[in-house]
Chains A and B, each alone.
Chain A
Amino acid sequence: MRIVELHEGEAVCVDQDGASHKVAVELLDTVRPGERILVHAGVAIGAVT
């Protein structure tokens, strides 16, 4: 998923079909809008580089 916005430990992300999701990102180091992340069960577990 791609991060669109960040709000206090949560990110609004879009998936490859364009659907929007709220994702917990506190298990990752620094994340920024525009970055792609790997999400499982609503929680980001890895960054895609």
Chain B
Amino acid sequence: MKYVDEFRDAKLGQVLAGEILAEVDPHRHYKVMEVCGGHTHSIYKYGIDDLLPDNVELVHGPGCPVCVIPMGRVDDGIAIARQEGVIFTSFGDMLRVPGSQYTLLDAKAHGADVRMVYSPLDALRIARENPEREVVFFAIGFETTAPSTALTLKRARDEGISNFSCICNHVTIVPPLKALLESPDLRLDGFIGPGHVCTVVGARPFEFIPADYGRPVVISGFEPLDVMQSVLMILRQLSFGRCEVENQYTRVVPREGNLRALEVMSEVFELRPHFEWRGLGFISQSALKLSDAYREFDAEQRFEVPGVRVADPKACQCGEVLKGVIKPWECKVFGTACTPEHAIGTCMVSPEGACAAYYNFWRYARQKETA
């Protein structure tokens, strides 16, 4: 298939692997962070890290939207889902994220009307079909997914649908990147930029990384050759002493982003003063809430929610995994108490989570074999 097969060509992959090998300084260790769960998934699915020299290390950042949701927000969702007359909707992964006591799927098993949707537009359709019920959509995701929620709320308002609301957990990628760059724990040499986020926001929001922190960024596609070419572009910037935002994913990402999507988002959302990220704590202006114009659709205004901060389970090290401080298999409960079937931490829930990606593609078994 066009745009897929040519980016999975094994021979071209070997050529790129050779070019990467030729580019690295054997006396230097390179740490490159990807900040999109789609890249993490692709890296493990295709074994991209096996094709890189030993001194080029890929580190996984906080790019999986399900992974960064703190337990307290899950509890807020469950509290709404349990209310009489509510139909509670969200994406499939979100329903499996543990709160302090259980998941939204557990709440469904206990009688709550919790439904999986593919799109917030599906939730709006459910609201149209059930005018006597309150339909709530638990919105998560970065700037990639926020346009779909914004468009849905705009349609709800235009159609005068009053039994639909949204608990907004949309987050933005730049503030956590700043937090990571300020962290003394982590020395990074460059970033693989989130291609789909950039489709919406463009390249400009990432220019502070080379300008203020002296680290190159290459906005990347998600097929294996995209990721390998992006690694090569980062290494070449480092070799030649360049430091800028480059766009490898030119077939999709325009430099200015999607202006129409940004316009709808700015109408529907505004920045929260602060928001809690799993593992990263509270980060200023790192998440979205509904604007005053859409306040009537805000589930946090319509329903009572506990709003209580809940500490992560002590055994779980999702925070360190999300910051790239440890690898998934270095977590104390990885692959034993915490598996995709019985996840303790969020990183084991979504296929885009680093732990689930490691586990699902048998990286854990291979790691043990080579240990």
Give residues in A with beta carbon < 8 Å to B. Answer: 16, 24, 26-29, 36, 38, 40-43, 45-49
Contact = CB atoms under 8 A, between A and B. Distances in A.
B258 interface: yes
A48 B120 contact: no
Given A28-B260, A48-B251, A40 B1 contact: no
Given A24-B121, A46-B258, A40 B151 contact: no
A27 B147 contact: yes
A39 to B, nearest CB: 9
Contacts, number: 68
A46 B251 CA distance: 10
A48 B7 CA distance: 14
Nearest to B118: A42
B121 A46 contact: no
A41 B260 contact: no
Q: Tell me which of B120, B141, B149, B258 has the highest count of chain A C-beta atoms within 10 A of its own C-beta.
A: B258
A27 B260 contact: yes
Contact of B200 (A26, A42, A45): A45
A42 B253 contact: no
Q: Tell me which of A36, A43, A48 has the highest count of chain B C-beta atoms within 10 A of its own C-beta.
A: A43
A45 B1 contact: no
A41 B120 contact: yes
Given A24-B121, A24-B151, A43-B121, A36 B258 contact: no
Nearest to B4: A16
B3 interface: yes
Given A28-B260, A42-B122, A48 B3 contact: yes
A36 B252 CA distance: 10
Interface in B235-267: 251-254, 258, 260-261, 264
Nearest to A49: B251
A28 B263 CA distance: 12
Contact of A41 (B145, B199, B253, B261): B145
B285 interface: no
A24 B258 CA distance: 15
24 contacts: A24-B151, A27-B258, A28-B258, A29-B260, A41-B119, A41-B120, A41-B145, A42-B118, A42-B120, A42-B122, A42-B148, A43-B119, A43-B121, A43-B148, A45-B144, A45-B148, A45-B200, A45-B258, A45-B261, A46-B196, A46-B199, A46-B200, A46-B258, A48-B3
